[in-house]
Structures are given as C-alpha cells and as structure tokens.
Chains A and B, each alone.
Chain A
Amino acid sequence: MSEPFIRAKGLQYTYMAGTPLAVEALKGVDLEVWPGEAIGLIGPAGAGKSTLVQHLNGLLRPRARGQLWIDGQDMGDPRVDARPLRRRIGLVFQRPEDQLFKTLVGDDIAFGPRQLGLPREEVRERVRWAMEMVGLDFGAFVDRPVVSLSGGERRRAAIAGTLALRPSTLILDEATSGLDPRGRRQLLDLLRRLHREEGTTVILVTTHMEDLVGLAGRVVVLAGGRTVLEGSLREVYGQADLLRRHGLGVPQMAEVGEALAARGCRLSRVPLTVQEAEEEIAPRLGVSCGVV
C-alpha cells in the first residue's frame, strides 16, 4: 500500500489539438488510487470523466503536460506498452451491452479469455465464475442467444465479459445508467462483492451520487477538466453549495440535512441514506401527545 496503483498529476488532454475545434477536456486532473480501494469519480456532463477513464487503461496517453503513472509505469513514455495493462485493468464503457457481438452469451463472455490463449478448461471455468458473479445462471444462460436477453441481463453479460479477464482493477463508466431500480441494486451488490470478497480495485464513474453509498470509501469530484474536491462521501456530499456551483446535484438526504440546518435544526452528521436521516431526525421530533 506504499505506492498508489494509479497516480495522475496535473493531467491534461486536448481533443483535436491544433485545430479550430480543439476542446480542452482535461486541464489539470490529480488522482490517486490505491490497490484494493473503491472510489467514486463524479462530475457533471463535460467534466472530462470519460476522457480520464480512457487514460486509465492506456486508450489515451498523456501528450502534453501533466503526468500519469499506472502501476509504476510512466504512461507519458511512448515506449510503455499499454496492452499488458489492459489485462489487469478492466474498463466497462457506457452501455457495454452495445458491444456484445457474438451470437451466444457464453461465446461472448469467453472471447477475452480465448484471446489470452488460455486452455479450454480454464476459459470455461472463468466464464462460469464471471456469469455467477453477475448473477446469470451458467446452465440457463451460457447457450442462450444474446438477442433473447433483457436489457439488464445484457448489461450483466457484457460486464461478465470484462470480469472473465480477471482484472485486478475494474473501472465502470456510468455502469448503472439506464438500468431500472432492480437492475441497479443488483449491479451495485455485484460491485460490493467484487470489492470485498475478491479484493478488486473499483473505480465507479457516475452521476448518480447515491450509487456510491455503501461502496466507495472516497469520492473525487471532477469539473471543467480539473479535480475540484476530494474526500469521504460525508465530507463531499456535505458541501452542497460547492457541488451545485460545479453543476452537480446534491444527494437528496444530504439536501435534507442542509435544509434542516437552514431552519435551525442541526443534525449531528450529513445523512447518506434514508435510514440514517430517519435515525437522526426521529429522536428530535417532539412527543405528539404532549408528554415531553
């Protein structure tokens, strides 16, 4: 734990650099991720989240200013080969189900491990493990055509394809968006299990700040291509004004804490869940039958 697995310092990136359409996506990102951590990366649309994520598995490389080290390697050095890194860092894009391309679920999930040249038996074992992790029953789903799956099942099959590579770090870009509440809960449970039971480092990029509760120990806020805030969920969610100023929403329970404080009712901590808010508020409600 002496070295962060990922370290970005003043990272910059410009799309279409040198043209009139140049867009500065990253202007100075600082980020450290330690092995075995689960962190949240939040920011409004256009903050540079997806650009940053593509740097984290070597799809984009630092070109101008700023530095990025991953697992001790300087990613700005063009001699560093990013390919071995991609086996250890799994990246799940937005709407990963659009990238399913095989006819059968099992073949799609097996594609990655087969590319690695693993023996048949191990490929099968990995596919079985990955499907069970995401809650797709191996026997029932392995030979199903991809087209027969529901939206939530497709999303999980796509994530299983990444898990089958057995990455030590998993980065998910808006993985829960577009899922219904049930599908969201299942996916977040999966990430919690991967983090706690398998020790996987998890970086969850999201605009749904509530998704991070119970999963991420730390949250990094990106806005306008820069790191603007970093801390525990309670520290960050408690800064309602700052979040709003950067075009982010405030999780509803933190907003309740803020609205109560404005009315002179102070809670002892920033509530993150409905249950926490209930526990904070209930004892302070006067007894209705007049017995105080």
Chain B
Amino acid sequence: MSDALIRVEGVTFSYRPEDPTAPPALKDISLTIARGEYVAIIGHNGSGKSTLARHLNALLVPTRGDVWVGPWNTRDAHSRRDVRRTVGMVFQVPDNQIVATTVEDDVAFGPENLGVPEEELAVRVREALETVGLWEERRRPPHQLSAGQKQRLAIAGVIAMRPECLVMDEATSLLDPQGRADLLATLRRLRAAGTTIVAITHHMAEATEADRVIILEAGRIALEGTPREVFARAEALERLGLDVPPVSALANALHRRRPDFPAGLLTVSELANAVAERWTEAMP
C-alpha cells in the first residue's frame, strides 16, 4: 500500500462547527486508498459515508485533520482543480448532474471544459458512451432516458474526463439488476485499465468484488477487511443494521447448523459447490 492515491488523516467533520453540541458527521477517520484499489464503503443513511465521499474530491474540507489526493491537500484552494481532475464523482440522483440537451453533448461537457481538443473529444465521448452502453442513444434528449440510463449517462460524463479515481456515491441505487450488472462490468473494465474505484453503497452484494470493504457507523469506521472477512461477521453486521448479502447469510446459517460448512461465502457458485460436496440424497 505504499503507492497511496488518497490519504485521509484524522478527519473530523461537522456541518455546524460553530455549535459544539452538534455531533460531527465524521469522527477522527483515517484511511488510505492505494492506486488501482477498489474500495467499497458501506453504511446506512446518516453513517457519514456520503460526507466522507465528498471529502475525497474537496467538495467538503475537514473541520480537523487532512485529506491528501496525490501531492495535494484538499484544503489548498489552488489545488482544487487538480484534485477534481484526479477524483471524479458520480452521485445518486443523475438528474442533478445532467446539463446538456443531447446525450453526446452531455458527455462532452466535462472534457470540453478541461480543454480537450476536438478530435480527442469525439474519441472520448464514443468510448465513454460505449463503456456504459448508451452509444445508440447518443442523439436523444437526456430527459427521455430511463432512470438507469440517466445514471449511466452521468457516469459516462465523468469517465470522459478520465479521472484517476472514480467515486460513486450510491450511484447504483436507482439501477435495475441488469443496469447494475452492466455498471459492475464497466467498473471491472475501468479497474483493469488501472482506475481506482471508491464505491459508496448500501447494496452489500455490490461490495463482494471490492478489494476492501469499510463499514461506517455514526461517523467512525466500524469494520474493515476483505469482503470475505467482513461478511462472515453476521452478528456485527446485524448489530449495525446492515444486511448480509443473501448468499453469505445462507452460508452463515448453514455454518451455524454444521460448523464444517464454511461461513462468509460470497458467490452463488461457491455456495452451490460447498453444498454439492456435502449433499446426500434422501433415504428411500
């Protein structure tokens, strides 16, 4: 982890710092995100996960502590542009992120503002729209797209700026299963190309592909580890009011009945294999 892209150092954040009785949204959080890493941040509403996400590209700056993106401190107003060029954000509600009257113009808006030359602009727009599966819709007005398509459009707009790190703040929560699967495939492609990904979600199943899962509760890190480590801890997750992904919950339940059955399984095929190895036909 020596190649850190983002360092969050002892960050406390309060939306009302002048009021000492207001509970801070983040309490002394420290974490490091390495280049190329895929980190899932999970927590329910009010846990501080969106507040943390907004610190990663200087939309918010810490009340105490520091956030470093590459060589830049997010407090430094002169480096904001570099910070935001490095870390792109996709939000939960895409409508607030859509600016143009056609799909392709909307995707071009960001890179155009970065001064990307016209020829490269066309390449980037096409690549971004193909990545999210909206190339065929390029001439349509965005308001005619479905909710899932709009979210993919918002993501295309950010991808086209080629940020080193993509922060997705519940970006999949309005998508259908196919939309989510398409998006996860998109993330896999971006990740293979070296993009660092921070996904804020309450869909536990989405975190199974992450390198690391961080669970926030009341502004603090409550649990951290690989998905396998975290999802095996059913009681801790339940106490935090979070759902274990169904497959992990089933593995944990079978493990409670039969200690030799492995807990913390993540995928349907892992689970089916573990069951099949132990399967006995009913007595005639």
Chain A residues proximal to chain B, CB less than 8 Å: 15, 21, 23, 43-46, 50, 94-95, 150-152, 174, 177-183, 207, 209-210, 247-249, 251-253, 255-256, 259-260, 262-265, 274-275, 277-278, 281-286, 288, 292
Bound together, the chains give a CA A210 to CA B177 distance in angstroms of 11
Per-residue contact bits, chain B 159-183, to A (CB 8 Å; 1 contact, 0 not):
0000000000010011111111100
B269, closest chain A residue (CB): A259
Is B122 located at the chain interface by the 8 A CB criterion? no
Tell me if B253 and A207 are in contact (CB < 8 A): no
Tell me if A260 and B272 are in contact (CB < 8 A): yes
Q: Taking the nearest CB of chain A, how far is it from the CB of B242, in angstroms?
A: 6
Give the A-B pair count, Cβ closer than 8 A: 138
Tell me if B174 and A177 are in contact (CB < 8 A): yes
Bound together, the chains give a CA A262 to CA B273 distance in angstroms of 10
Contact with A256, one of B180, B272, B278 (Cβ below 8 angstroms): B272
Per-residue contact bits, chain B 235-254, to A (CB 8 Å; 1 contact, 0 not):
00000011101110110011
Across-interface contacts of A251 in B (CB, < 8 A): 246
Tell me if B241 and A285 are in contact (CB < 8 A): no
B92, closest chain A residue (CB): A178
Contact with B45, one of A43, A151, A249, A255 (Cβ below 8 angstroms): A151
Tell me if B178 and A285 are in contact (CB < 8 A): no
Scoring A15, A43, A182, A248 by chain B CB atoms within 10 A of each residue's CB, the highest score goes to A182
Is B275 located at the chain interface by the 8 A CB criterion? yes
Tell me if A288 and B258 are in contact (CB < 8 A): yes
Bound together, the chains give a CA A279 to CA B257 distance in angstroms of 11
A45 with B149: in contact, given A180-B44, A207-B175, A259-B268 (CB under 8 Å)? yes
Bound together, the chains give a CA A88 to CA B47 distance in angstroms of 38
Q: Restricting to B250-284, which residues have a CB under 8 Å from any CB of A?
A: 250, 253-254, 257-261, 268-269, 271-273, 275-276, 278-282
Give the size range of B's interface with the partner.
Answer: 35 or more
Is B93 located at the chain interface by the 8 A CB criterion? yes
Across-interface contacts of B246 in A (CB, < 8 A): 210, 251-253, 274
Tell me if B173 and A178 are in contact (CB < 8 A): yes
B202, closest chain A residue (CB): A180
A265 with B250: in contact, given A45-B148, A94-B147, A177-B173 (CB under 8 Å)? no
Tell me if A286 and B279 are in contact (CB < 8 A): yes
Tell me if B174 and A94 are in contact (CB < 8 A): yes
Bound together, the chains give a CA A285 to CA B250 distance in angstroms of 14
24 residue pairs bridging A and B, Cβ less than 8 Å apart: A21-B140, A45-B146, A45-B148, A46-B146, A46-B148, A151-B45, A177-B174, A179-B45, A249-B180, A255-B268, A256-B250, A259-B269, A263-B273, A265-B272, A265-B276, A277-B250, A278-B250, A278-B257, A282-B258, A284-B279, A284-B281, A285-B257, A285-B261, A285-B280
B181, closest chain A residue (CB): A249
Per-residue contact bits, chain B 37-49, to A (CB 8 Å; 1 contact, 0 not):
0000000111000
Q: Taking the nearest CB of chain B, how far is it from the CB of A258, in angstroms?
A: 8
Tell me if A263 and B276 are in contact (CB < 8 A): yes
Across-interface contacts of B258 in A (CB, < 8 A): 282, 285, 288
Tell me if B45 and A180 are in contact (CB < 8 A): yes
Tell me if B179 and A178 are in contact (CB < 8 A): no
Across-interface contacts of A207 in B (CB, < 8 A): 175-177, 179
- Across the A-B interface, give the 10 residue pairs with the lowest CB-CB distance, nearest first: A249-B177, A207-B176, A45-B148, A259-B272, A180-B44, A263-B276, A247-B178, A252-B246, A286-B280, A45-B146
A264 with B45: in contact, given A15-B144, A255-B268, A277-B250 (CB under 8 Å)? no
Is B205 located at the chain interface by the 8 A CB criterion? yes
Tell me if B276 and A282 are in contact (CB < 8 A): no
Bound together, the chains give a CA A179 to CA B46 distance in angstroms of 12
Per-residue contact bits, chain B 135-164, to A (CB 8 Å; 1 contact, 0 not):
000001100101111000000000000000
Tell me if A288 and B280 are in contact (CB < 8 A): no
Q: Restricting to B178-196, which residues have a CB under 8 Å from any CB of A?
A: 178-181
B140, closest chain A residue (CB): A21
A209, closest chain B residue (CB): B177
Across-interface contacts of B46 in A (CB, < 8 A): 150
Bound together, the chains give a CA A81 to CA B265 distance in angstroms of 56
Tell me if B275 and A281 are in contact (CB < 8 A): yes
A252 with B146: in contact, given A180-B202, A263-B276, A284-B280 (CB under 8 Å)? no
Tell me if A45 and B147 are in contact (CB < 8 A): yes
Q: Taking the nearest CB of chain B, how far is it from the CB of A210, in angstroms?
A: 8
Given A182-B45, A210-B246, A286-B279, 13 more pairs with CB closer than 8 A: A44-B176, A46-B146, A50-B146, A174-B147, A178-B170, A180-B44, A207-B175, A252-B268, A253-B246, A274-B250, A284-B280, A288-B259, A288-B278
A288 with B269: in contact, given A151-B45, A249-B177, A277-B250 (CB under 8 Å)? no
Across-interface contacts of B242 in A (CB, < 8 A): 181
Tell me if B271 and A256 are in contact (CB < 8 A): yes
